[in-house]
Amino acid sequence: MDFKQKRYPVLSSIPWYAHASIASISTVISETLLFSLESSKIRLQIKGSWRDSIDRSFIKSIRQTIKTAGISGLYNGFGLTLLREFAFIFPKMYAYEQVKRYFVADIEKVGYYRQVCPIIASSFFGILACNAFDIMRIKSIANVDSKQYSSISEIWKCITNEKGIIGIERGFVLNFLRSTFFISAELAVYTQTKLLLMKKFKTNKESMPMHIFSCVTASIAACLASCPLDVIRTRYLCYTGEETPLKNFKTCVLDIIRNHGLKTFYRGFVPYVLKTIPSSIIFFTVATNMKSTYLKYTSV
């Protein structure tokens, strides 16, 4: 045991695999209820009509998908999305428990940087594990309109066609940067909003309305901070192999600026926010109740 472990013993009554299982169940519930918003966001970022207003194009995207592929088209790529979440959560949770001890044990009582650094560091390993599923789900969702691929194996061949197995990590840096921007903004705004509300109402207790308001504010801020990278990431991962002129991050950014304009960096922002806010609330509610139930039965 090193110095930091002696000075700050890890105070966790729930093992990492229980945390990961709880997070996975919470994610399955939120993704099942809100996946149509995620798929709509991705289609807008790839094939949206750049001249339409954001709100109007969002509605048109939903209508076009239903017209083309029916209601089931809204859930195209759902299975791959769940696999992506499982591949992301379990490595991330394990890495988080390992990384956290080198910062401090009681993570709730330390400053912002000591809170955010373990989360970002552990996200690195989660994204490394799920990057291939990210590419496959994005291409599967986009395939509703293009009908380019008839099976998952065709998508896999497209990913590995140009650079072999190393192609599954295409866009890894973009994925990591997008996650970093999202996490950093969300944690900072959530913490500051909660502190301001506590100061305003002169209370040290965190109530459910206070949490929900802080969560909504933090989700909007996180979406604003990460949406440009989300758009670049989606377009870059969608076009893989020989069919694309988007060979790297630079050409992807220049293509958006030259052909579509700066407002394109916020394509899909409305469904992005509409999905993120309830997803955070659902995740928090389900995870909190499941943790309480777990501790209740394990303490008996």
More confident residue, 240 or 197: 197
Structure tokens at 176: 């990591």
Q: What is the pLDDT of residues 244-269, one digit of tens each?
A: 556 677 888 888 888 888 888 998 89
DSSP letter at 274 equals H
All domains in the chain, ordered by first residue: 13-282 (1.50.40.10)
Distances (CA, A) of 283 to 25, 51, 209: 9, 35, 16
pLDDT at 296 over 90: no
Query: Residue 275: which pLDDT band, with cuts at 50, 70 and 90?
Result: very high
Q: What is the mean pLDDT of residues 280-284?
A: 85
Q: Which residues contact 191 (CB under 8 A, 6 or more apart)?
A: 112, 115
pLDDT at 88: 95
Q: What is the mean pLDDT of residues 137-157?
A: 79
Structure tokens at 133: 């599923």
Are 237 and 159 in contact by the 8 Å Cβ rule? The answer is: no
- 138, 143, 145, 146: CA torsion to nearest 10: 120
Q: Which residues contact 42 (CB under 8 A, 6 or more apart)?
A: 138, 141, 142, 234, 268
Q: What is the mean pLDDT of residues 70-87?
A: 89
Q: Number of helices (H) and strands (E), helices first, in the chain? A: 10, 0
Query: Residue 218: which pLDDT band, with cuts at 50, 70 and 90?
Result: very high
- C-beta pairs of 180-184 under 8 Å, 24+ apart in sequence: 180/120, 180/123, 181/222, 181/225, 181/226, 181/229, 182/222, 182/223, 182/225, 182/226, 183/116, 183/119, 183/120, 183/123, 183/222, 184/116, 184/120, 184/225
Q: How far apart are CA 156 and CA 190, in angstroms?
A: 38
Which residue do the tokens 């149509």 mark? 36
pLDDT at 51 over 50: no
CA nearest 85: which of 155, 34, 159, 46? Answer: 34
Tell me which H or E stretch contains 181.
helix 172-201
Are 78 and 35 in contact by the 8 Å Cβ rule? The answer is: yes
pLDDT at 143: 79
More confident residue, 187 or 160: 187
Q: What is the pLDDT of residues 101-115, one digit of tens each?
A: 776 555 455 677 778
The torsion region of residue 14 among left (phi > 0), alpha (psi -120 to 50) and beta comes to beta
Could you give the angle at the alpha carbon of 171 between the alpha carbons of 169 and 176, nearest 5°? 95
pLDDT at 119 over 80: yes
